[in-house]
Amino acid sequence: MKYYVNVFLVLLIIISIFGLQPFRQTIDAEKTLVEDTGVYATEVRRLPDATYLVAVRTPMPEVKADMVRWWFSDFLQTTEHYNWWHPKDHVWMDWENKMPGENTGSSHLVHEYIGGELAKLRIQFVNSAEFFGYEVNDENTFVICAKVGLLEEDINVAKMCHVVRNTLDGAEMRTRFWLGHVAKREGNKTITSIQGFIGNTALVRLFVLDKHSAEDLKRHAKEEMKYLADLLPTLYESEKRG
């Protein structure tokens, strides 16, 4: 009897730390963001490791992947530009380590409202190969991936990725957030910490992460990407002509 009790306790500890499927890869970025050709669902879903998946599909008529690349890499420079992206929710922005024409290695510092709460975030852009295992960007596809952290604390709390692919009538953006990936950071480097270990356990994620906040993020992402889809064609054409 004691043997079975001990086995049960061990299993309970494993599930509390890792979730229901501890050896399953839950990011699945390559399959569902790049390779799938079917309909990409806009959804909020709790994953087996207790993180939350937030996914948003945005049709972008008359937009091409290069326009979105230009927006992030070259054009987006001021709080005014940031406000165009979402006039109600976007409050302030700045850049850290930003090089002209580049995103990788830079961090987008923002204040924005998500579900009525002001979020102060540091969005650190990383090479897409860190998510997908290979470089995804090409002439018909723009991919930008990031680690999302708190601006006023040296800790990351999520991962995100936008994939924009050209279509016959424009482009399609597939956005994905994985909430609950916690890591202490020093500059752009993530470091081992007790906060990271505890924050990434399934038990803590179950208590800390809630569906309402994930739904708020989904709503915000749908709105801001719709604004971007609407403003980019005219803005891109006028800037290129000028």
> Shortest CA distance to 167 belongs to which of 68, 70, 63, 39?
63
Percent of the chain at pLDDT exceeding 70? 83
| Burial of 205 per CB tally in 10 Å (0-12, 13-18, 19+) | buried
**pLDDT given for residue 32 in this prediction:** 60
CB of 32 closer than 8 Å to CB of 161: no
Measured distance CA(56)–CA(222) in Å, rounded: 6
Residue 163: CB partners within 8 Å, gap ≥ 6? 33, 34, 136, 141, 142, 143, 173, 174, 175
CB of 158 closer than 8 Å to CB of 179: yes
Residue 165, pLDDT above cutoff 50: yes
Q: Mean pLDDT over all residues of the chain?
A: 87
Measured distance CA(51)–CA(67) in Å, rounded: 32
**pLDDT given for residue 54 in this prediction:** 95
Q: pLDDT grade, residue 28 (50/70/90)? A: low
3-class SS shares of the chain: helix, strand, coil, % to 5: 35, 35, 30
What are 3-17's pLDDT values in tens digits? 433 333 333 344 455
Mean pLDDT of 34-44: 73
- Best-predicted range by mean pLDDT (121-130, 214-223, 231-240): 214-223
Residue 235, pLDDT above cutoff 50: yes
Counting Cα atoms < 13 Å in the Cβ hemisphere of 190 gives 18
Residue 154, pLDDT above cutoff 80: yes
DSSP type of residue 140: T
- Best-predicted range by mean pLDDT (111-120, 122-131, 196-205): 111-120
Measured distance CA(155)–CA(184) in Å, rounded: 4
Length of the chain: 242
* Long-range Cβ pairs for the range 190-199 (8 Å, 24+): 190/147, 190/156, 195/155, 199/157
Q: pLDDT grade, residue 181 (50/70/90)? A: very high
What are 48-101's pLDDT values in tens digits? 899 999 999 999 999 999 999 999 999 999 999 999 999 999 999 999 999 999
The CB density around residue 239, as the number of other CB atoms within 10 Å, is: 11
Mean pLDDT of 148-175: 95
**pLDDT given for residue 99 in this prediction:** 93
CATH 3.30.530.20 fits 25-241, yes or no: yes
The phi, psi pair for 22, rounded to 5°, reads -65, -20
Domain range list for the chain: 25-241
Q: Which secondary-structure segment (H or E) carries 146?
A: strand 141-150
Q: pLDDT grade, residue 137 (50/70/90)? A: confident
**pLDDT given for residue 138 in this prediction:** 86
What are 97-117's pLDDT values in tens digits? 999 999 999 999 999 999 999
Q: How many helices (H) and strands (E) does the chain have?
A: 8, 9
